[in-house]
Amino acid sequence: MNKQIKFIDLGLMDYKEAWDYQQNLFDEIVEIKKQNRKKNKNLKTPNYFLLVEHPHVYTLGKSGDLSNLLIDGSELKNKNASFYKINRGGDITYHGPGQIVGYPILDLENFFTDIHKYLRFLENSVIQTLEYFGIKGERNPGKTGVWIDINKPFPKKICAMGVRASRWVTMHGFALNVNVDLDYFNNIIPCGLSDHTVTSIKNELNQSDINIEGVKDLLKNNFSKTFNSEFI
Active site amino acids:
191
Contact 191, 142 (CB under 8 A): no
Burial of 95 (0-12, 13-18, 19+ CB in 10 A): buried
Find residue 177's DSSP bridge partners.
99
